A = this chain, B = another copy of it.
Amino acid sequence: MFSALAHPTRRALLARLADGPASVTELAAPFAVSLPAISKHISVLEQAGLLQRTQSGRVHTCALDAAPLRDAADFVQRYQVFWTQTLDALAAYAEATAPEPESD
């Protein structure tokens, strides 16, 4: 999943699909690589569950499926406190997760 997102071409493909479904050739058009290369990228995205294929005739139409990205969002947001809060809040968070008997 994260490795599917790790390649810039694949992120660009997702961005393109955010504007609507497209065929493999349409998806490949903006890129300077061969069609088989794009085909492989699409397979990677499909296997990561980020892309759904619908074959109608000889045209494979690809559509974005962002559902798995929710997991990535969940993962990343667990760390949100570490970049949004101040050091005080960070300390509070540390204390909340690993309570330390300080007094009382």
Contacts and interface: CB of A to CB of B under 8 A. Distances in A.
15 contacts: A2-B6, A18-B97, A19-B94, A19-B98, A56-B97, A65-B82, A65-B86, A67-B82, A67-B83, A69-B76, A69-B82, A70-B83, A72-B72, A73-B80, A76-B76
A74 to B, nearest CB: 9
Total copies of the chain: 2
A45 interface: no
Given A2-B2, A3-B2, A76-B76, A20 B94 contact: yes
B83 A66 contact: yes
A62 to B, nearest CB: 12
Contact of A79 (B2, B69, B93): B69
